[in-house]
Amino acid sequence: MEEIEVAIQCHRDTGPVVLEGRLRLPDPGSPAPGVVLCHPHPAGGGDMDVPLISLVSEALCLLGAAVLRFNFAGVGMSRGFFTDGALEPGDVAAAFRFLESRPEVHGRDVSVAGWSFGAWMALLSIIEPYSVPASTLVAVAPPLVACDWSAAAPEIAGSPAERYYVTGERDRFCPPASLKEFAWAVSERDAGHVMVLAGADHYLFGREQEVARLLVELL
């Protein structure tokens, strides 16, 4: 199992940028399923190296997936500017296209998962104008209290992705009640895919291994 540094070409409305990424590949064999991981908001220290994202990457790869984690524009060594959600769904789309084009990856079996800000960007990436064709999407603690999600919910319902939602019982930014309301607004099927971690808050400190195991099961 190796992890290599990669450069992801992203064509934003403001011009092309290059995103920093790390691609973890399983042992050589037949094309593997792929997973793109999206990190939390950089204002809180979020980048592709936060422990939860790193643990999920390793766990998925051990089970045979090719995993791409990346930094949004303006984060780490990624070029361009961070736009606080305005253009970042396009970064997710660029990472997805990069992964599905790799010869080691089964291009029709690529999923997306994100935590906090990254979860919301992942959800926005599967609707127009990006319409990322993810096979599965796992949104961990999307910060719904800070999002106007009413218009996005019916559009998300139109995506063919199998969607799952995870939050903590004590999450102030993604309260379980808010997540359930959002999932119901998307579809009745989505409402049945909401998981709440007992005693956990938004930051999931000390729960990283548990969340990693859960994402492995879902993805």
Cis peptide leading into residue 129 (ω within 30°): yes
Residue 169 confidence (pLDDT) above 80: yes
Residue 185 confidence (pLDDT) above 90: yes
What is the tens place of the pLDDT at every residue in 48-62? 999 999 999 999 999
Kindly indicate the confidence band of residue 30, based on its pLDDT and cuts at 50, 70 and 90. Answer: confident
Q: Which domain holds residue 162?
A: 2-218
Nearest to 132 by CA among 89, 71, 103: 89
pTM: 0.96
**Count of alpha carbons within 13 angstroms of residue 36, beta-carbon side:** 37
- The tokens 């603690």 sit on which residue? 141
Q: What is the percent of the chain with per-residue pLDDT over 90, rounded to a whole number?
A: 91
For residues 10-34, average pLDDT: 91
User: pLDDT at position 118, please?
Assistant: 98
What is the tens place of the pLDDT at every residue in 93-143? 999 999 999 999 988 899 999 999 999 999 999 999 999 999 999 999 999
Nearest to 24 by CA among 78, 74, 63: 63
For residues 193-203, average pLDDT: 97
Give dist(CA 59, CA 78) in Å, integer.
25
Is residue 168 within 8 Å of residue 202, measured between CB atoms? yes
Cβ-based burial of 185 (10 A; exposed 0-12, middle 13-18, buried ≥19): middle
User: pLDDT at position 2, please?
Assistant: 76
What is the tens place of the pLDDT at every residue in 33-91? 999 999 999 999 999 999 999 999 999 999 899 999 999 999 999 999 999 999 999 99
Look up the CATH number of the domain holding residue 182.
3.40.50.1820
Domain count, the chain: 1
Residue 29 confidence (pLDDT) above 80: no
Give dist(CA 16, CA 111) in Å, integer.
24
